[in-house]
Structures are given as C-alpha cells and as structure tokens.
C-alpha cells in the first residue's frame, strides 16, 4: 500500500484514460468472480450447516448429502454439546498457537540474518526460504517421512554414530506436526519480517550506537520494538494458517492430533455428512474471525497512546 | 563476548532452519532414483525404473495432464481478473483502496477445507463439478489475490507521464494497456502468471474435495499412496512436480531476471 504518493504523480497515472474508465468497471470482474465463487461457497457452507443430514447416502444415487429446505441448529448443538468436538477445537487452537510462537521466533532469527546479509547472500537465502512454497505440500511431507521416520536419515545417522540405542520417535507425534507446519508457514513470516526490518530507519540504530549502546542494547531497545508490527502480522498469519492445518496432522500425526480441518474432510468425504462437515467448517471461520478481531483490537490499543 | 556467543547461536538456529527447509526436498528427489524395491536412498547405483513406472501408468500420466491443464486454466482465469482489479486500485484516489485490497486478499485467509466444501456445494449446484474448470476456479481463489498483489506493486511503479503522453496522442485505454502499460511491467506479468501456475500445480486440499476420477490432479493421486503404500514411484511423481515447477521458474527468471522475482515476492 502506498498511502503517500505524490499528488501530481497520482493524477497522471490516471490521465484521460481514467475518466473514461470508471473504477467500478475494472473491479466488476473480480467482484463477480469472488461473489460467485468465494462468497457463494461461504454462504453455501453456512446454509448447509443449518440443514438436516439425512444420513447414510452415497455418491451416485442422486441423493444430496443434506436435506434441502430444512433448517436446524442440531449440527451446532451437537458440536458444542460433544466433548469430542470441543476437544478438537481446543487441540486446533493449541496447534495454531504453538505454530505461531515457534514460527515467528525462528522466522525472526532468519529474517534478521537476511536483513544484515550481503546482497548475494540475501538473494540466496530468500530463494531457499521461498523454495518450499513452490513445492507441493505432499512432496514436503513425504520428504519429512524419509528424513525423520523411524528408519529415516536422522535416526540412521544417530544410530550409526552410536548417539542413540533405538530410533527416536520423530514422526507421528506433535513434534512432527509442529515442525511440518513451521516449514509450511515460515516462508510468509520471513518475508513479512524482512520487510519490517527493512522499513526501520537505520539512523535510529546508528544514533543509539553513537550514544554508547552495545549491539545487544540497540537490538532490545531500538530494533525489536520498531519491528513489533511485523512480528504481530507474522504471528497472526502463522496462527491462522496453523489453525487450518490439514495435511501435516493427517500424515505426520496420529488420530489424537487430528484438527478441525481433518474433521471437515472426514465428515464430508468419508461419513458423507455434509451438514456436520459444514458446521465444523463454520466453527473454523468463526475462530479465525475472532482472532482477526482480537488482532485489530490490539492494533488499535497499540496505536491509541501514540 | 556474549555478543559473539549470541551470534554463533543465531547462526546455528538459522542453519538448522535452512536444513529443515531443504533436506526433505532433496531427499525425496534422491529417493526417486533408487534401484531398490522399497523406499530407500540410492546407495547401490541410480535407476530410472520408478520414472518408467510413472510414465507407463495411465493413471499417473492422466494426473500429470490434469495438473498442467488445470494450472493453465487457473492462469487464464486469474490473470485478467487480477490485472483489472490492480488497474483499478493502482490509480488516483486513495479512498477505499485499503478496504478493496483487503477484500480481494480475503480468500488467502480462509482455510482450504472451508473453500473446498463450499465450492463443492456451489459447483455441483451449477453443473461445474467434475470439469477441470471446477478445480481451476477454486485455485483461482488464491491465484487472483497473488496476481493482484504483484500487478498492483508493478503498476504503482509505472511513470504516469508515459501513459498521459500516449493518451494525448489519442490512444484509447485498451491500446495504452496493450502497447504501453503491459510492456513496461512485462517482468511482473510473468511473475504473476508464474504464481498462478505454481499455486495451482501444487494445491492439494481443494483439489481433494473437487476432483472426480477423471479430473484427479497429481497431488490427489499421490495422497492415498503416501498414506498407505509408500513406494518410490511416489518419489518419482513428487520429482516430476518439482521438475515442472523448476522449469517454469527457470523460464520465468530467465525472461524477467531473478531479481524481479524476489522483489515482487517481498
């Protein structure tokens, strides 16, 4: 976003061009597209979550997986009355929280080094960071199994040098799920944090140093506080994406680590109970909305004294 | 000397992180060349047997064709939509553009399972379900915001006086767009198309919800295999995805310069 473009330049991008082409016309395609295929599906999820599930139908027989035209809160009542679903929600939020904390900490370390690196090193490190995003998530998970599995590289290496007597359990547990989620979310967080560090006025750090502050003091009292907005965005992003975790808990976790997203798939594609799947999906949307609301609150609270 | 110690600790953490990012990728590439029957590193020579198996199996080749087809469709849908939206925002009045941008970016923050189940309901209702277009439209939900972000950044960098000059010479909006604006931002156009392609080729969760036996993409075919029967052909399939991605990336960076790629990304 560029809130402070010079006024004269702004008028120019437009030119005569702009006057003939009202903004609305340019925005029409995106509005139609998102209206039909984004808002539409969200409303469909909401609607289906409020319908009865007929139970016991299958693909191919033409029977919908919910009863059209019916209205009920039964799916939500079931969700909020069942310790199973409430436990899933708590687990999902916990996983999101752990992902957010770990990812943001690791990302900050890497972002700081990228920020300080020579240009060539900077480009190389940024490439390494974005590479997983250009790779299929299943490829990554498969690689995880090969590296961290019971007979994977790490265990074989540790066994070979005699550091351990039996393979360490590094997959099918919380450790693996968190580690995988970190890899999936980290690229975005590093980019956000590098941008935040770049935006800091170098003169402020220089000023602190010239008054005799040590490197550590400059970091704690100048750099870190000034980069906090980036840390906030990074934490929010990783929390939201951690909440949506689907593949990592499924492939690298155990049934005890299945999240709300996995439950949506199980209800929809396995039990063919669309109504319940939709209700679980709506709870996810609700949790994310609440998170964003809290984030915006803290933003306002942080800006208020200034 | 605490400062030096902290620095060494920091480097160690970052080295581990970089390893974590790279090692799974490299390992699955290596395993695809194994001559052995089971999933293992190729310690006794290299073999292409799993690639032969991949390209000899109609199920895999159909999935590869589907992946490429859906990715091309995603590009075709998302680029014009994202470009027009960026043209609308990267202009004069700043009023309301924050809100419009936020709305366009919103799909990126909705979990794929939610988009998947919702799209399934809508696409079935309107008769799209079971077509490659159905998957491409779902993937475009994430591709449009990316195209929008890349093109918005690029258009803000265009010297407005050039557009004005063209306008005073009597060029219409379409001609200015085609002959002035787009050539000026050509590298970003490429990056935007590339993002759309890659996000689609690698997307898995929405595809899982929307694919039917005839529209299964590579990740959807890999999915049950990776879960139940781990064979090296999965590594070969993974490598094919990596190779396609790298080829697209290389073509793009050749045409636009790696620098432009990174700038657009950050």
**Residues B27, A153: C-beta atoms closer than 8 Å:** yes
Instruction: Answer yes or no: do B13 and A144 touch at CB < 8 A.
Output: no
Tokens read off for A289:
């909305």
Cα first-last separation, chain A: 22
Distance separating alpha carbons of residues A99 and B202, to the nearest angstrom? 22
Facing A261 at nearest CB: one of B2, B111, B204: B111
Alpha carbons B266 and A126: distance in angstroms, whole number: 9
Q: Is B12 on the interface with A (CB under 8 A)?
A: no
User: Using alpha carbons only, what angle is made at residue B134 by residues B113 and B178, rounded to the nearest 5 degrees?
Assistant: 115
Substitution target in B26, B33, B42, B91 with the highest count of A β-carbons within 10 Å is B91
Phi, psi (degrees; rounded to nearest 5) at A67: -95, 110
**Burial of A147 from C-beta contacts in 10 A (0-12 / 13-18 / 19+):** buried
- Residue A197 near residue A223, CB atoms below 8 Å: yes
Q: Do B107 and A21 touch (CB under 8 A)?
A: no
Of B23, B117, B161, Cβ closest to residue A45: B117
What are the C-alpha distances in Å from B41 to residues A106, A140, A171?
Answer: 29, 16, 19
Residue pLDDT tens, chain A, 306 long: 444 444 444 445 555 555 555 678 888 999 999 999 999 999 999 999 999 887 554 444 555 577 778 899 999 999 999 999 999 999 999 999 999 999 999 999 999 999 989 888 888 898 889 888 777 788 888 888 888 888 888 888 899 898 888 888 888 899 999 999 999 999 989 999 998 998 888 888 889 888 888 888 888 898 899 999 899 999 999 999 999 989 999 889 988 899 999 999 999 888 888 899 999 999 999 999 999 999 888 877 766 544
Report CB contact under 8 Å: B39, A194.
Answer: no
The per-residue pLDDT for range B156-214, each reduced to its tens digit, is 888 888 888 888 888 888 888 888 888 888 888 888 998 899 899 889 899 999 999 99
């Amino acid at each position: 976003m560029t809130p402070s473009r010079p006024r004269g330049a702004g008028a120019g991008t437009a030119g005569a061009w702009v006057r003939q082409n009202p903004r609305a016309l340019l925005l029409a395609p995106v509005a139609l597209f998102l209206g039909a295929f984004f808002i539409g599906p969200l409303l469909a999820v909401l609607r289906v979550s409020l319908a009865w599930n007929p139970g016991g139908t299958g693909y191919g027989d033409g029977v919908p997986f919910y009863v059209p035209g019916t209205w009920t809160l039964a799916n939500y009542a079931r969700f909020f009355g069942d310790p199973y679903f409430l436990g899933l929600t708590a687990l999902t939020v916990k996983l999101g929280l752990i992902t957010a904390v770990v990812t943001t900490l690791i990302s900050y370390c890497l972002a700081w080094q990228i920020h300080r690196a020579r240009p060539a090193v900077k480009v190389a490190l940024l490439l390494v960071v974005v590479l997983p995003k250009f790779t299929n998530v299943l490829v990554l998970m498969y690689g995880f199994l090969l590296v961290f599995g019971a007979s994977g590289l790490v265990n074989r290496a540790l066994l070979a040098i005699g550091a351990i007597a039996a393979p360490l359990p590094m997959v099918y547990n919380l450790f693996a799920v968190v580690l995988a989620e970190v890899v999936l979310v980290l690229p975005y967080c590093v980019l956000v944090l590098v941008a935040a560090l770049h935006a800091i006025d170098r003169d402020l750090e220089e000023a602190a140093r010239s008054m005799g502050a040590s490197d550590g003091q400059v970091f704690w009292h100048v750099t870190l506080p000034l980069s906090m907005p980036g840390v906030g965005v990074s934490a929010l992003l990783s929390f939201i994406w951690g909440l949506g975790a689907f593949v990592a808990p499924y492939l690298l976790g155990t049934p005890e680590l299945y999240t709300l997203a996995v439950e949506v798939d199980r209800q929809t594609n396995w039990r063919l109970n669309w109504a319940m799947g939709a209700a679980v999906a709506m709870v996810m949307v609700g949790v994310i909305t609440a998170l964003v609301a809290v984030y915006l609150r803290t933003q306002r609270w942080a800006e208020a004294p200034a | 000397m605490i400062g030096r110690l902290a620095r060494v600790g920091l480097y160690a953490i970052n080295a581990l992180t970089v390893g974590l990012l790279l090692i799974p990728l490299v390992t699955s590439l290596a395993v695809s060349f194994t001559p052995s029957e089971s999933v293992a590193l190729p310690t006794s020579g290299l073999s292409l047997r799993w690639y032969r198996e991949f390209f000899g199996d109609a199920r895999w080749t159909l999935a590869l064709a589907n992946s490429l087809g859906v990715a091309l469709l995603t590009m075709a849908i998302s680029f014009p939509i994202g470009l027009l939206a960026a043209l609308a925002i990267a202009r004069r009045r700043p009023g309301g553009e924050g809100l419009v941008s936020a709305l366009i970016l919103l799909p990126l923050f909705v979990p794929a399972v939610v988009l998947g189940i919702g799209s399934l309901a809508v696409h079935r209702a309107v008769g799209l379900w079971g077509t490659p277009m159905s998957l491409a439209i779902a993937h475009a939900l994430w591709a449009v915001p990316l195209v929008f972000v890349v093109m918005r950044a690029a258009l803000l960098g265009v010297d407005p006086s050039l557009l004005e000059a063209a306008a005073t010479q009597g060029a219409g909006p379409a001609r200015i767009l085609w002959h002035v604006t787009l050539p000026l931002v050509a590298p970003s156009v490429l990056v935007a198309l590339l993002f759309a392609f890659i996000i689609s080729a690698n997307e898995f969760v929405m595809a899982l919800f929307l694919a039917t036996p005839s529209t299964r993409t590579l990740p959807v075919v890999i999915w049950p295999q990776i879960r139940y029967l781990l064979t090296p052909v999965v590594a070969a399939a993974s490598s094919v995805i990596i190779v396609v991605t790298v080829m697209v990336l290389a073509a793009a960076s050749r045409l636009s310069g790696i620098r432009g790629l990174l700038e657009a990304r950050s």
